[in-house]
Structure 1
Amino acid sequence: MKKIGITGQNGFVGSHLYNTLGLSPDQFERIHFERDFFENDEKLDKFVAQCDVIVHLAAMNRHTDPEVIYTNNMELVKKLTASLEKTKSKAHVLFSSSSQEEKDNLYGKSKKEGRQLLAEWAEKSGGKFTGMVIPNVFGPFGKPNYNSFIATFCHKLTHGETPFIDQDGEVKLIYIGELVKEIITQIEEGKNRDLYEVPHTSVNKVSEVLGKLENYKKLYFENGEIPALETAFDLNLFNTFRCYFDIKNHYPVKFTQHTDPRGAFVEVIRLGIGGQCSFSTTVPGITRGNHFHTRKIERFAVIKGKALIQLRKIDTDEVLDFFLDGTEPAYVDMPIWYTHNIKNIGEEELYTIFWINEPFNPEDADTYFLEV
């Protein structure tokens, strides 16, 4: 089992890597990191000494003064290098650099020089080093106006604002899940690579990305329809978009119910893609679920009885409660990385329709059990 520490553990890439490593507890032990470790030599040395692998992600991306970015990022690398030397570490250090390296800016300069410093440490100490030059990354929970133009577009479209394009052009992109998989592969291989350019997984014009997101807003955000998702990029972009909703206020979404003397008719879901649709009855007091997905799209629709649906993002303590009643049929969709359940809180059987975008495959279930 490898002991892995992540500087910048709570950042965009760091949190996704930390959570994904947690899905394989028999392979990886996560060594906890906190931001103030860089301000306390003793804490930093203790952290470094425990690690077989250190993924150095902590960095400043944006500031009004580029000199502050350069100074901050270089200082972090120097402190980490000093701690590695002091503890006589032989760890495998992976460094997150950027395609900005070759551009004439101080952020790119800090990344290039930081990578070179750590490569020199590895050569002198007998440790291992992988310098990863990473393309533009997007995915759920990125900060708008900071991590990615996609994060900014998603936030604006779901919060009543209008996104705009500063400069259109083609952008090389990688989804956060794909990047995390790449980092884990590099950890497992354990090779010295002073410069490794992580391959991008798609190339898209900014205007094309915005067009897709505007379509998701119209079809899904406003009308609950799952759009056609023809490529892996489409699925990843859609799952990213879904994570920017104000979930507390968006759900539950009430269905349009048509009634006549024969009874009632409700359209549960309109699809641009296929998937698996299931029906369940649940006796009073019983809870189903308590699991999360990292890629699947799922809808719980209550059509009879009273239910409590609960969601919790797996690295937070906040539980979101949604009360649904079959007299007013409604649904809640499950964002990825949110553990969820459904409980019958009524006195009669609960009738629920479940839809998920891919049939269950026990060899690749993408279902991780965790109490809400």
Structure 2
Amino acid sequence: MKKIGITGQNGFVGSHLYNTLGLKPEEFERIDFQKEYFEQPDQLDNFVKQCDVIVHLAAMNRHPDPEVIYHQNVELVNQLVLSLERTGSKAHLLFSSSSQEERDNLYGKSKKLGRSLLANWAKLNGGKFTGMIIPNVFGPFGKPNYNSFIATFCYKLTHGENPTIDVDGEVRLIYVGELVQEIINQIQSGETKEQYVVPFTTAIKVSEVLDKLENYKKLYFDAGEIPKLITGFDYQLFNTFRCYFDIATHYPVKFTQNIDPRGAFVEVIRLGIGGQCSFSTTVPGITRGNHFHTRKIERFAVIKGKALIQLRKIDSDEVLDFYLDGTEPAYVDMPIWYTHNIKNIGEEELLTIFWINEPYNAEDADTYFVEV
């Protein structure tokens, strides 16, 4: 079992790494770190002495004065090096540098220098060092206006603000979960790599990201519909977006009930990745349906009460009867070109869940009414 400490464990990447390591207690023991340790040499030394692996993530990303960023980040590295030397540590040290190393800004320069200082410590003291040069990271729980433009966009869209684009260039991104796995892979390998360029997993224009997020707001945040998600990045971005809701005020979201003398019809969920799911209540003696489809895939699932489901191929006189009882939940799939219905034949309310592979569109309903 490796004992792992993370400077900056409460930060964006640090918290994801800390929590992920906690899922593997048989392999990793987490040594807690507090940011105050950098100002308390004894506490820092005690932390360092316990660690087989140290992942140095603590850093400043934003400040009105770039000089402050530079000096703060270099000072954190210097404090860590001094502690490593005082304790005679032979730990495997992993450092999160940035793809901004080669840019002409003080943040990038602070990262490049920090990587050099830690690599030098490892050479002189028999330690292991992995200098990870990381692309732009996004994911759930990043701080808006600090960690990522995606975090900023998500926050604004879910809090009544309008995001704006300063420069619409292509960005190279990695999802925080993917980065965490990269870090764990390097921990497990135990190899020294003074300059390891972490590969980006998505290249996309800023405007394309905003387009996707605005679609998520319109469909999901405002209307409760699951949007169409095709790529792995789509799922990552959607899950990122969802974490910026004010959950306490957003939920519960009430359904719209369509009530008539037969009972109530409620659309449960509309899925860009899987059609439409609804449920109905039907009072005793009432029949629903008597229509057919030419392309839609449909399933009736009875979960309460007793029902008779009938099917008839529209060019045949043969009627197929299926008796369902909610005490033994079951379903019947509706073949195309078969007119079908469902009737409550019990003495209590009938509860049915319907799934169909495409949301209802009044302009192209593919629903033709014919009595069974």
Tell me the TM-score normalised to structure 2 length. Answer: 0.74
**Aligned position for 1:263:** 263
| Matches of 1:188 and 1:247, distance apart in 2 | 37
| Paired residue secondary structure (2:171) | strand
State the secondary structure of the residue aligned to 2:132.
strand
Alignment partner, residue 16 of structure 1: 16
> Equivalents in 2 of 1:100, 1:276: separation in Å?
45
Following superposition, the deviation at residue 260 of structure 1 comes to 0.7
Unaligned runs of 5+ in 2: 280-302, 305-350, 356-372
SS in 1 for 2:274: coil
Paired residues of 2:269 and 2:277 also in contact (CA < 8 A)? no
Aligned residue number for residue 39 of structure 1: 39
Task: Give the aligned partner of residue 64 of structure 1.
Answer: 64
Say whether the 8 Å CA contact 2:269–2:278 is kept in structure 1: no
Q: Secondary structure at the match of 2:183?
A: helix
CA displacement 1:107-152 (0-9 Å, x = unmatched)? 1111000000000000111110000000000000000000000000
Q: Is the 8 A contact 2:9 2:33 kept in 1?
A: yes
Which residue number corresponds to residue 202 of structure 1?
202
Count the aligned residue pairs. 285
CA RMSD of aligned residues (A): 2.1
Matching residue of 1:73: 73
* Residues in 1 aligned to 2:250 and 2:278: alpha-carbon distance in whole angstroms: 24
Aligned partner of 1:211: which letter? D
- Structure 2: which amino acid aligns with 1:125? N
Q: Indicate the SS of the match to 1:213.
A: helix
SS at match of 1:259: strand
Map 1:266-281; keep pairs closer than 5 Å.
266-274=266-274
Aligned-residue sequence identity (percent) comes to 77
Q: CA offset at residue 274 of structure 1?
A: 3.2
Matched residues in 1 for 2:133 and 2:4: separation? Answer: 20
Instruction: Give the equivalent residue in structure 2 for 1:254.
Output: 254
Cα 1:230–1:127 change in 2 (3 A) is: same
Amino acid in structure 2 at the alignment position of 1:199: P
Larger Rg: 2
Question: Aligned equivalents of 2:276 and 2:8: distance in 1?
Answer: 38
CA distance in 2, matches of 1:151, 1:175: 12
Runs of 4+ in 1 over 2 A off after TM superposition: 274-279
Change (3 A) 1:276 1:14: farther
Q: Which residue of 2 aligns with 1:51?
A: 51
| Map 1:141-160 → 2, pairs under 5 A | 141-160=141-160
SS in 2 for 1:132: strand
- Is contact 2:266–2:278 with CA below 8 Å preserved after alignment? no
CA-to-aligned-CA distance 1:222-267 (integer Å, 9 cap, x gap)? 0000011100000000000000001000000000001111111100
Where 1:254 maps in the other structure, the secondary structure is coil
1:257-286: CA deviations, max 9, x gaps? 01111111100000011399899xxxxxxx
Unaligned runs of 5+ in 1: 280-302, 305-350, 356-372
Matches of 1:24 and 1:204 in 2, distance apart? 33
CA-CA distance at 1:53 after TM superposition:
0.4
TM-score, normalised relative to structure 1: 0.74
Q: How does 1:222-301 map to 2 (within 5 A)?
A: 222-274=222-274
| Matches of 1:266 and 1:274, distance apart in 2 | 18
